[in-house]
Structure 1
Amino acid sequence: MALVNQTGSVFWSSNKSTTVVNTVAQLLDNGNFVLRPENDENPEKYIWQSFDHPTDTLLPEMKLVWDLKSGINRFLRSWKTNDDPATGDYAYKLDNRGFPELVIFNNETIHWRAGPWNGKRFSGVPQMKGVGIMRFELQENSDEISYSFEMLNTSLYSRLVINSSGIMQRFVWVEGAKFWNQYWYFPGDKCDNFGECGPFGICNANPAQMCNCTIGFRPKNQQAWDLRDPSDGCVRSSKLDCGSDRFLPFKNMKLPESSKAFVDQTMNLSVCGEICKKNCSCVAYANMKITQGGSGCVMWGGDLIDMRQYDDSEDGGQDLHVRVAASDLGMFSIAYE
């Protein structure tokens, strides 16, 4: 298929050749623009489809895909400016390293991450829980990793857009008023910025002290910390002793950056904790999924980056268990693992 201008010059081409004589161009109800053989609406027979060539917008049933066999990575790319559709600096894509998650990149630098998929939603996007008009799905198999959403009511419409400033915006169509209403957006506050509180720092947007070092940790640079520059993060107050270390449980956590995390889909949390405790380089562990009482195991080594703790009212995140020196837990150590 090709679009030509008034002089007959090719303005755009699908770069697809076909032996099908009668070809139909069709805009489907879900927004997918397809080329298909006449009298054959089987999606497997599409000659070309726009859903395979994402721009800055994700529509229902459209997939962000990392094809593990071919290496093809389909992701959203921002416009250069709000008025210029040339390629911009921001990309919204699946990161398939370690524990897969969706990430906004500013060129090659991580700008924001959704947190790993926990079976219901991304641990860093609590707004996904309260959405009853759509279903979110992350699929992972030997062929590909993909993320998509679908509307539960086909009379409702929504789209996800990455704008030229690197903001992810979910819009829903308000039929009565005839306009696209912004339903949510990310990053939404400073805690959404990647690594805002540095290594081992925990961000909470509500307290006056946005960044915190938990029990067993202290600011690495106290002077900068006091001046509200937490970028150096936290360091341990005491040296670890593998045999006596305990694990401090945190609730409602956006799980740490997970590109180097170890993931086992079959291991339960109890076994996960036992293995992590015996492995002196393991600094934290969590369930892979929170559905059906929890399943799977994720373990982290090295620094824990980009953690956030949500208030109970926000209903975000999940449980995370962090290794702490027993001496730092003191008289309260009996309450911990």
Structure 2
Amino acid sequence: MELYYSFAIITITNVLLLLITHAMDTLNPSHTLRHTTGDTLISSGGTFELGFFNPDNSNKWYVGVWYKRIAPKTVVWVANRDNPLPDSSATLTLTPPGRLLLLSAANATIWSTNISNILHNPVAQLLDSGNLVVRDGIGLIVWQSFDFPTDTLLPGMKLGWNYATGREAYMTSAKNGGDPASGDFTFRCDPTGYPQNVLKNGGSVQYKSGPWNGLGFSGGQNLKRNNLFKFGVVMTKAEVYYHYELLNRSVITRFQLSESGVAQRFVWNDEKQEWAMYHTVQVDGCDMYNSCGAHGSCNADVVLGCACLERFVPKDPVEWSRQEWRNGCVRSKPLNCKSGDVFLKYSGIKLPDTQLSWFNASLSLRECNQVCSKNCSCMAYASLDISRGQNGCLLWFGDLVNIRDMSPGPGHDIYIRLAASESRGKKRQVVIVTLCLMVGVILVCLSLLLSFQMRKRMNHQSSEIVLGLDDQPDESDNKELELPQFDLSIIVKATNDFSMDNKLGEGGFGPVYKGVLDEGQEIAVKRMSKTSHQGVDEFKNEVICIAKLQHRNLVKLLGWCVQGTEKMLVYEYMTNKSLDLILFNPTRSLLLDWPRRFNIINGIARGLMYLHQDSRLRVIHRDLKASNILLDCDMNPKISDFGLARTFGGNETGGNTSRVVGTYGYMSPEYAVDGMFSVKSDVFSFGVIVLEIVSGKRNRGFVHSDHRLNLLGHAWMLYEEDRSIELVEPCAKKSCDISEVTRSIHVGLLCVQQHPEDRPSMSSVVMMLSNGGALPEAKHPGFFTGREILKSETSVSTTTSSSTNAITISLVEAR
């Protein structure tokens, strides 16, 4: 993200003119900036500087603007990005007509502002905003660098169209970190139909934000109202543009389009002297443009990523069953405009692509319905602006594409045209639902009566919830669970009454708090939430598994607390918290050099081998993921969260369930689809974690500019092409042992193979990681493609799996 450049200095042959109160450097026709070494820079007086630089000490030189007091230098604008200077001799001058010229040593024009008008007393200035401007004699700006962004958008810049000048301002990625020349990706505000932000790779659309709705972009998951900056889309007859402005002038932030096509925002952390990632525009595979075809909706939280909208069916059922979704869906019943159609409300979705749309800001939603109903080509309508209720009218014509499920967020409401017969079917459904609700209310009342009778009994027997462990093979096992029972008052005091300042995070079980006991020992308290889907069984599971298992790579349970409705588990505190918080953080991941990453991989493998083979009870974790790997002060890994684990005795190695639990992206194919779990399910999850540790990328939401594969598919492709080393995260490459890296990737791919019988046991994994013997060839992974088939494979799943740090899924019925 940051560009590491060698910077030369500029000299000004005459005394600089102090023109405004900011002590802002200026350049007039009597002044010239020559490229020599050891002289002063032209500066905005506060934040930015203008000068010559050459990337990676190459022989190519450029004129650019960068932050004045930030190291390493971060370039935000380049004048001659596509026409570098051939050597270090150059001149930047302002001619009397008012043109800025960049001349080579041979006086060849390398770059200019191309101002056609002749200006009187022109002056060039670098403003505090980072904007390089040319003013005429009365102070009017006639040219500015902000009209010509490179790969960075600064506060005050505009992305969009100026209809008066016919000029579009848009971002273009750099070729790479060492070459600022224009790359393949562009990011722009497209006013076609109705404004939305669009990312393209050449002429191919990669991402569309959805239309602007007055509060944000319909599909903008990460762009939320905040106290750092405000943002919006401005639409007038003269121009349409997206912009953002700072709310806090002390904040330094930039929005950048990376060379790989990822739009991302950074905020400068002055205390740590580093750029921190604030958010990325693309979050997951569902942000790929039109991933599910017409009338298809993408949901990144399910294994099968695409589904037809309600009352739509796959256009090609055979292709759809193969998870080839590009042809999308069609209405289950054809439209008949002359006989009358109806409009069904769809809620909580990203609105479709507005390229073929029409809008009127003065119409109400009711008037919008009337306009759309009278036009047989109108396929849907929605409110234009939801910032102050439902205002304006937005109509769609043609197929509805680029839809995604935005739940549990607010999403947007849209009304889609359907056959009139669908309305009658809906009325029947309302009657059925009403009857079901009535029956449900009666059942709920009965259950409340029963629960009231049982509540007193449960309160008296609260401690027996833990110690009455019916899963134990004999009575002697209960005696071995003699863990300390903490009094609630002790935990309340240790956590400062569960202060938000002490909150470490939250999972499916509930929130986790840091605490300090009176004797100074640091603890982590997992407090069961009243709304948690996990309950007594998971609480018992956690105690059974942790109390009876002792291993250096398993988190240590210190005690428990059951008092009234409160149920809590007390653990040793892990200084570095969970693996995902470091691994997927652009700045904190720098702490993980390759030796540490390899140590984490080996530690997880040894802990999992103990669970599967060496412990007294065979344990299948069922929710192994990066967020459930905790790191101590020395970055040693410890497996945690056994609430969903299953224990077995004897030679049992697996089972079947109708209640699929775990986190999508880490779940094996046979478990996610059929509910079949085994030790090989954990092996699959381990393989995903290995590939994430090596690459520093989440399996879920992995984006690559050259293809649409997820992380598993990308790793498999590199492995097939003998390019596995390219998977390694750049910050770990410098310290990596190539043989260890390629071996780890190979082992990871063996673990994520499609069929469980092909996957190695964890004892084999530990052995393969620790010695240099030959490894078997890996077969294709499960859930490994994005939405296209690799090479000659024709029957491979094309699901975009995910490995986000999401709340564990624990109530999904297996199909």
Tell whether the structures are fold-level matches, with TM greater than 0.5. Answer: yes
Q: Which residue of 2 aligns with 1:303?
A: 399
Amino acid at match of 1:113: K
Correspondence 1:233-252 to 2 at 5 A: 233-242=328-337, 243-252=339-348
Measured after TM superposition, the shift of residue 244 of structure 1 is 4.4
1:2 aligns with 2:70: no
2:381 paired with 1:285:
yes
Equivalent-residue separation in structure 2 for 1:210 and 1:95 (angstroms)? 27
**C-alpha contact (below 8 Å) 1:284/1:301 kept by paired residues:** yes
Shift in alpha-carbon separation, 1:22–1:61, aligned structure 2, 3 A: closer
Task: Tell me what 1:212 maps to.
Answer: 307
1:146-161, aligned counterparts within 5 Å?
146-161=241-256
Q: CA deviation at 1:22?
A: 6.5
Q: Confirm or deny: 8 A CA contact 1:265 1:288 kept in the other structure.
A: yes
**Equivalent position amino acid for 2:187 in 1:** Y
| Equivalent position of 1:261 in the other structure | 357
Give the C-alpha shift of residue 325 in structure 1.
2.3
Output the CA distance in 2 between the equivalents of 1:227 and 1:168: 31
The one-letter code matched in structure 2 to 1:259 is: Q
Deviation of residue 173 (structure 1)?
1.2
Q: CA RMSD in A?
A: 2.2
The one of 106, 130, 154 equivalent to 1:31 is 130
Task: Give the counterpart letter for 2:266 in structure 1.
Answer: F
Residues 90-146 of structure 1: per-residue CA shift (max 9 Å, x gap) = 111122211121111222221111111111111110322243311112111111111
- Cα distance in 1 between the residues matched to 2:289 and 2:424: 32
Which letter maps to 1:183? Y
> Is structure 2 residue 369 aligned with structure 1 residue 270?
no
Query: In structure 2, what is the equivalent of residue 88 of structure 1?
Result: 183
- TM-score, scaled relative to structure 2: 0.39
The answer to whether the Cα contact below 8 Å between 1:254 and 1:318 also exists between their aligned partners in 2 is: yes
Structure 1 residue 199: deviation in Å? 0.6
SS at match of 1:263: strand
Aligned partner of 1:225 among 320, 338, 342: 320
* Contact 1:215/1:328, CA 8 A, preserved across alignment: no
Deviation, structure 1 residue 209: 2.4
C-alpha distance in 2, partners of 1:103/1:48? 26
Report if the CA contact (8 A) 2:196-2:217 is conserved. Answer: yes
CA spacing shift, 1:334–1:160, aligned 2, 3 Å: farther
Tell me the residue number matched to 1:97: 192
Higher helix share: 2
Counterpart for residue 63 of structure 1:
158
Residue type of the alignment partner of 2:258: N
Tell me which residue corresponds to 2:62.
Answer: none
Change (3 A) 1:76 1:22: closer
The answer to whether the 8 Å contact 1:250/1:320 transfers is yes
Does the 8 Å contact 1:239/1:325 carry over to 2? yes
With over 3 angstroms needed to count, the CA separation of the structure-2 counterparts of 1:15 and 1:281, relative to structure 1, is: closer
CA-CA distance at 1:4 after TM superposition = 4.3
Which has the larger displacement, 321-330 or 133-142? 321-330
- Distance in 2, Cα, partners of 1:184 & 1:266: 34
Residue type of the alignment partner of 1:178: Q
Q: Where in structure 2 are there 5+ consecutive unaligned residues?
A: 1-99, 431-815
Secondary structure at the aligned position of 1:51 is classed as: helix
Shift of 1:9: 5.4
The one-letter code matched in structure 2 to 1:325 is A
Using the TM superposition, give the Cα deviation of residue 5 of structure 1 relative to its aligned residue in structure 2, in angstroms. 5.2
Does the aligned pair in 1 maintain the 2:380–2:416 contact within 8 Å?
yes
Aligned position for 1:323: 417
Q: 2:287 matched to 1:192?
A: yes
- CA shift in 2, pair 1:326/1:151, >3 Å: same
The alignment partner of 2:368 has SS state of helix
Return the offset for 1:267.
0.5
Q: Distance in 2 between matches of 1:176 and 1:128?
A: 25
Aligned to 2:27: none
The code of the aligned residue for 1:170 comes to R
SS in 2 for 1:191: helix
Report SS of the residue matched to 1:293.
Answer: coil
Match of 1:13 among 100, 105, 112: 112
Letter in 2 for 1:262: W
**Is the strand fraction higher in 1 or 2?**
1
Match of 2:168 in 1: 73
Deviates more, 1:273-282 or 1:221-230: 273-282
Conserved in 2, the CA contact under 8 Å of 1:18 and 1:47? no
Structure 1 residues 234, 169: CA separation in 2 closer, same or farther (over 3 Å shift)?
same
**Contact 1:251–1:309 (Cα < 8 Å) also in 2:** no
The runs of 5 or more residues in structure 1 that have no matched partner are none
The residue aligned with 2:585 is: none
Deviation at 1:19, TM superposition (A): 4.2
SS of aligned partner of 1:126: coil
User: After superposition, what is the alpha-carbon deviation per residue over 1:216-274, rounded to whole angstroms, capped at 9, x for unaligned?
Assistant: 21111222212221111001111223344332212222111111212111101011112
Paired residues for 1:170-189 under 5 Å = 170-189=265-284
Whether contact under 8 Å (1:216, 1:329) holds in the other structure is no
Determine helix, strand or coil for the equivalent of 1:127: coil
| Per-residue deviation, residues 159-192 of structure 1 (Å, max 9, x unmatched) | 1111122211111111111111111113221111
Tell me the secondary structure at the aligned position of residue 198 of structure 2. strand
How many residue pairs match? The answer is: 329
The worse-fitting range, judged by mean Cα deviation, of 234-243 and 143-152 is 234-243
When residues 241 and 333 of structure 1 are mapped into structure 2, their CA distance, relative to the original with a 3 A threshold, is farther
8 Å CA contact 1:169, 1:184 repeated in 2: yes
* Distance in 1 (alpha carbons) for counterparts of 2:167 and 2:295: 34
**Closer, same or farther in 2 for the Cα pair 1:143/1:19, shift >3 Å?**
closer
**Structure 1 residues 334 and 291 mapped into 2: Cα distance closer, same or farther (>3 Å)?**
farther
Q: How far, CA to CA, are the matches of 2:270 and 2:120 in structure 1?
A: 40
Partner SS state of residue 388, structure 2: helix
Distance 1:36 1:22 in 2: 6
Within the candidate set 108, 115, 128, 2:210 is matched to: 115
Letter in 1 for 2:265: R
| Rounded Cα–Cα distance in structure 2 between residues aligned with 1:322 and 1:82 | 45
Report the CA distance between 1:66 and its aligned residue: 0.5
Identity in percent:
37
CA distance in structure 2 between the aligned counterparts of 1:84 and 1:116, rounded to whole angstroms:
34
3-state DSSP of counterpart to 1:246: strand
2-structure distance, mates of 1:247, 1:212: 20
**Structure 2 counterpart of 1:101, which letter?**
Q
**Secondary structure of the structure 2 residue equivalent to 1:288:** coil
Task: Give the distance between the partners of 1:10 and 1:247, measured in 2 at CA.
Answer: 61
Contact 2:349 2:407 (C-alpha < 8 Å) held by counterparts:
no
Matched with 1:128 is 223
- Is contact 2:268-2:275 (8 Å) kept? yes
Amino acid at match of 2:415: H
Q: 1:22 to 1:273 in 2, by over 3 A?
A: closer
Change (3 A) 1:10 1:332: closer
TM-score, normalised to structure 1's length? 0.90
Q: Which moved more, 1:26-35 or 1:149-158?
A: 26-35
Cα contact 1:216–1:325 (8 A) shared by 2: no
Q: CA deviation at 1:205?
A: 1.2
